[in-house]
Chains A and B, each alone.
Chain A
């Protein structure tokens, strides 16, 4: 019995003195609960919408004011004609557009069918549903109040239209998300052990002494993995297309270019992790555990980012996956060209440069 207890004591020493175990035991559950707690929500907050008010009368103004006052919606834009609808959705600036038909008051009082169109960007089907429900609720509420005052029974009719995903297929949000997360994790994991492996083997030193330049080493480590990741991407897209009937509305070429760009970003992140980690095991752990949760939660893959508290929204901006999901959905579902996603593309390019530059710098530091 004493031997057994002695052994258990030793194990406790190991656990408490190993920083990694402590992080996993205490750090991770806390982080996970915070992340999931704040991220999982079926509510919507501050969703950006646009208004097309063809009547511009006192009643429409009241309704708009009511919507604007609620915490659920933020009126981002007021557009003046239907031609702008397509463009504003493609830009991804708003998740819904409310269209008030002409002669709203007249239609309301005389024919009792004042129409409001609720156009939603259904590339996030759950958000679209929720938006529709909330708008309907607000309109119903308004209708009730109005009828109380007027002492009558006027009706507001809502028509909903789902853009890009009329059947509200969740797979349309699923496939781009899965592709992004898998590419990110696999690419980062693959390259993360690349440099640490050389360190562990001792061959790193030999490379440092040899005439090969630091940037050649770093870039040379990224390149082979690009081919492998591209194959990965093709498999996922093919499966999505043939089995889940995922549309590819945009240019295949643009899709290819953007995918390679994201792969490079993910690989560079892996290399960066590799220069920072001390051992292959650590590198693997950081890229798998350290990246997986934030990427899944903060990329907008499952949980819409707009509904999260502000700090999380800010952090989500540094997750490359977030930007690629926007790009993917835009190309696959909305069929946009580079003119609508240039901002996100530039961000990914910038991140790649940053990761590679820091990696080269860290690699060079070993020379000092």
Chain B
């Protein structure tokens, strides 16, 4: 596997007044891997992600994402990454096609490219029938898949997923992860935060944040061996108990 590093984080810290949300963390993400970023609510996951995607400035430290420094080249970072937010980030009162056209335009795709990609996307996701329906009328699972694909329109090297599978049933979640796998096979790096521990099993490597620090970082298999448990859920519980 390609050992090129697509994310390098060094001494990353974020302070809000006296509160240290992210406390001097350092880690790396390899190109093409599915990297799970886990942690309890309030552990600092979202804050880290916001810094990596260029919308929050680190208090101390730096991060190089897709070859660009988030401190000094935030605009470049934004152009080279994809992002899917928790709320799925599509406009409910625009149609499927209109959403694709809009986001394609914002990311600088030409009209022809947008046309081409729209056709491919609709085919792959089997959404041709509803291409002119308002996104608001689609079931949650479909919105999710569409959101994911729209985030990849500009073919970024890495895509950040912020709790992408909230609120859907396990079958739909499984289907979504198949999409993630497919994209990963193409060589795209996937950086995903989640608090579904079973999804952690699907990742190549996983890091677990507790109170602003990274307390564990390894493949699910190795983590389970280390903590001598059978599931990532138990790894997490053990870690949480250790800290206390």
- Does A202 lie within 8 Å of B87, measured CB to CB? yes
Within 8 A of A (CB), among B131-166: none
Within 8 A of A (CB), among B66-124: 75, 78-79, 81, 83, 85-92, 103, 106-108
Do B91 and A209 touch across chains, with their CB atoms under 8 A apart? Answer: no
B57 touches A368 (CB 8 A): yes
B106 touches A202 (CB 8 A): no
- Contact assessment for A209 and B57 in the assembled complex, using a CB-CB cutoff below 8 Å: no
List residues of chain A with CB within 8 A of the CB of B20: none
Say how far A280's CB is from chain B's closest CB, in angstroms: 14
Contact B85 A205 (CB under 8 A): yes
Q: Which of B170-187 contact A (CB under 8 A)?
A: none
User: Which residues on the A side are within 8 Å of B55 (C-beta)?
Assistant: 205, 208-209, 366-367
Q: How far is the CB of A210 from chain B (nearest CB, A)?
A: 5
Q: Tell whether, in the assembled complex, residue A212 and residue B83 are in contact, meaning their CB atoms are under 8 Å apart.
A: no
- A212: chain B residues within 8 A (beta carbon): 106
The smallest beta-carbon distance between B108 and chain A, in angstroms, is 7
What are the interface flags for A195-216 relative to B under an 8 Å C-beta threshold, 1 for contact and 0 otherwise? 0000001110111111110000
Q: How far is the CA of A367 from the CA of B58 in the complex (A)?
A: 11
Beta-carbon contact of B108 and A205 below 8 Å: no
- Taken residue by residue from 205 to 234, chain A's Cβ proximity to chain B (1 for < 8 Å, 0 otherwise) reads as 111111110000000000000000000000
A63 and B53 alpha carbons, distance in the complex (Å): 76
Q: Across the interface, do A202 and B88 meet the contact criterion of CB distance under 8 Å?
A: yes
Nearest CB of B to A180, in Å: 31
Determine whether the beta carbon of B56 is less than 8 Å from that of A206: no
Within 8 Å by CB of B92, from A201, A205, A206, A366, lies A201
Closest B residue by C-beta to A210: B106
Smallest beta-carbon distance A209→chain B, Å = 4
Determine whether the beta carbon of B78 is less than 8 Å from that of A368.
no
Q: Is the CB of B83 within 8 A of A209?
A: yes
Take A201-B91, A368-B57 as given contacts and tell me if A211 and B85 are in contact as well, using a CB distance cutoff of 8 Å.
no
* Contact residue among B75, B83, B108 (Cβ-Cβ distance under 8 Å from A206): B83
Among candidates B53, B54, B57, B89, residue contacting A203 with C-beta atoms closer than 8 Å: B89
**Interface positions of A from 294 to 346, Cβ below 8 Å from B:** none
Complex-state Cα separation, A205 to B49, whole angstroms: 12
- Determine whether the beta carbon of A211 is less than 8 Å from that of B89: no
| Contact flags B32-67 to A (C-beta < 8 A → 1, else 0) | 000000000000000000000111110000000000
CB of A211 within 8 A of CB of B87, answer no
Q: Which of A203, A209, A211, A366 has the most CB of B within 10 A?
A: A209
Report how far A13 CA is from B57 CA in the complex, Å. 41
> Does B89 contact A206, Cβ atoms closer than 8 Å?
yes
The answer to whether A209 touches B78, judged by C-beta atoms less than 8 angstroms apart, is: yes
Which chain A residues numbered 165 to 206 have a C-beta less than 8 Å away from chain B? Answer: 201-203, 205-206
Report Cα–Cα, A211/B68, bound state, in Å. 14
- Inter-chain CA distance A202–B107, complex, in Å, is 18
Report if A211-B86 is in contact (Cβ < 8 Å); known contacts: A201-B91, A203-B91, A367-B56.
no
For A212, give the chain B residue with the smallest CB separation: B106
Closest residue to A200 on the B side, CB-wise?
A: B87
**Are B53's CB and A211's CB within 8 A?**
no
- Determine if B89 and A202 form an interchain contact, defined as CB atoms under 8 angstroms apart: yes
Which residues of A sit under 8 angstroms from B103, Cβ to Cβ? 210
Shortest CB–CB separation between residue B188 and chain A, in angstroms? 17
Given the known interface contacts A201-B87, A201-B91, the answer about A209 and B53 at a Cβ–Cβ threshold of 8 Å is yes
A211 and B91 contact, CB distance less than 8 A:
no
Q: Which B residues touch A206, using CB under 8 A? A: 83, 85, 89
Alpha-carbon distance between A205 and B106 when the two chains are bound, in angstroms: 14
Q: Which residue of A lies closest to B79 (CB)?
A: A211
Min CB distance B128 to A, Å, is 25
Task: Quote the shortest CB–CB distance from A341 to chain B (angstroms).
Answer: 40
A211 touches B106 (CB 8 A): yes
User: A201 CA to B81 CA in the complex, in Å?
Assistant: 22
What is the bound-complex CA distance between A301 and B137, given in angstroms? 46
- The chain B residue with its CB closest to the CB of A208 is B55
The contact of B89 among A205, A366, A367, by CB within 8 Å, is A205
The CA of A240 and the CA of B10, in the complex, are separated in Å by 67
Could you tell me the distance in whole angstroms from the C-beta of A166 to the nearest C-beta in chain B?
53
Q: B78 touches which one: A202, A205, A210 (CB < 8 A)?
A: A210
Cβ-defined contact, A210 with B107, below 8 A: yes
Kindly report which residue of chain B lies nearest to residue A216, judged by CB atoms: B106
Q: Which residue of A lies closest to B108 (CB)?
A: A211
Cβ B83 vs Cβ A211 within 8 A = no
With contact pairs A202-B89, A205-B89 given, residues A211 and B107 touching in the complex (Cβ less than 8 Å)? yes
**C-alpha gap A108/B8 in the complex (Å):** 97
Q: Chain A: which residue is nearest B160 at the CB level?
A: A209
Residue on A with the closest CB to B147?
Answer: A206
CB distance from B38 to the nearest CB of A (A): 21
Residues of A within 8 A of B57 (CB): 367-368
CB-defined contacts of A366 to chain B, threshold 8 Å: 55
Taking the nearest CB of chain B, how far is it from the CB of A126, in angstroms? 47
* 7 nearest A-B pairs in the assembled complex, by CB-CB distance: A202-B87, A206-B89, A209-B83, A211-B79, A208-B55, A210-B106, A205-B85
Q: Apart from A203-B91, A206-B83, A206-B89, what 15 extra A-B contacts exist at CB < 8 Å?
A: A201-B87, A201-B91, A202-B86, A202-B87, A202-B88, A203-B90, A208-B55, A209-B55, A210-B106, A210-B107, A211-B78, A212-B106, A367-B55, A367-B56, A368-B56
20 cross-chain CB contacts under 8 A? A201-B91, A201-B92, A202-B85, A202-B86, A203-B87, A203-B89, A203-B91, A207-B106, A209-B53, A209-B54, A209-B78, A209-B83, A210-B78, A210-B83, A211-B78, A211-B108, A212-B106, A367-B55, A367-B56, A368-B57
B residues touching A (Cβ–Cβ < 8 Å)? 53-57, 75, 78-79, 81, 83, 85-92, 103, 106-108
